[in-house]
Amino acid sequence: MQVGLNLLANEMSMNTTKLLVAGAPNGRAFLEKLVSTIKSDKIHVDLQIGLDTPAEAPGWSETQILVSFGVPCGGAEMDAAPGLRAIITPSLGYEGIDVDAAHHRGIAFANGRVAENFESVAEAAMLFMLTSLYAVRDAEERLRRGETRTGPPRARMLKGKTVGIIGHGNIARALIERLSGWNTRILLNNRSKVAPSSAFEQCDLDTLLAESDVVLPLLPLTPDTDNLLSRSRLLAMKPGAILINLSRGAIVDETALADPEVVAHLGPIALDVFVTEPLPAASPLRDLPGAILTNHEISHTQENLGALFAMAVANIQAAIAGTPMPTALVPGR
């Protein structure tokens, strides 16, 4: 009888899908809810918080599905888990996941590609633009100091301004749609040529920087975009221009942003992302006058996180069932 029970247990173990859910401490609540939602007798879920790599998790070699919330996974880690068949990131960004290595090994990959994410970032970009143009921070601080409205107006209209958008992904397209009706001129710079549109003018990066009143890099972080907006390019921007970064901190030379010459040249800056997150207490960016700084959270709307959660569940369920994941990236694209 004991032998029979052991055989049954082994058979049940063989039919159980093994998942590793790994993430940073700031994602604990999201991941715990995710684990609670997908829990069933057919899967074994291991939740690990604070790993540097998934290979540090007990039983990694037997893992079949990895759900990674900011935990990098490269070819070496994949090779250490020969049964791995799917990697899922609940977020839109997937820096640290070697997608090419995964596809080369026949491992499917899916991310949190939901419309609410693109739309939330685009709305946040509009918020940062208007808050910067209308000098809301300055007006608020003067009120708190008890000052009356004196001197020339500081606020500027968005109407008639030139908005420079670097990149033409989903977020950029959502922002272009939202700018419709504001009577702005939109300059677009993209690595590859995009279909002509009456909504924007395509140009090279130098022209965009020289002519734009507001500059927004809306790009993933890659070797090509790392430090894209260097000190020399920041100084090549139109004097008094507003810089808004909602993409990745390393796209902009952070050190240069605090350089006195750059500070004097540019207008207000608005940053939601930084090279080191959270932004260190000693960062000179904290002392920049009129700067808007948020902790990589301005687009984390309730609607966005709700949609990301639902998509993560759908991707996990598809991976368990062995069916195509809704937001799987196609190899070679």
CA distance 172 to 199: 12
Give, to the nearest 10 degrees, the angle between helix 136-144 and helix 115-133: 60
Residue among 277, 286, 300, 333 flagged as catalytic? 277
Residue among 116, 248, 265, 333 flagged as catalytic? 248
Residue among 156, 265, 296, 300 flagged as catalytic? 296
Q: Which residue has the tokens 């401490």?
A: 25
CA distance 189 to 206: 9
Q: And the tokens for 330?
A: 């196609």
Annotation says 248 is catalytic = yes
Residue type present at position 34:
L
Q: And the tokens for 203?
A: 């140009």
Q: Where are the beta strands (DSSP E) in the chain?
A: 17-23, 43-49, 65-69, 86-88, 108-110, 162-166, 185-189, 201-202, 214-217, 242-245, 269-271, 292-293
Assess contact for 285 and 257: CB atoms under 8 A.
yes
CA distance 70 to 53: 10
Annotation says 185 is catalytic = no
3 state SS of 45: strand
Closest CA to 28 of 71, 65, 88, 64: 71
Closest CA to 88 of 303, 301, 311, 299: 311
Annotation says 62 is catalytic = no
**Residues known to be catalytic:** 248, 277, 296
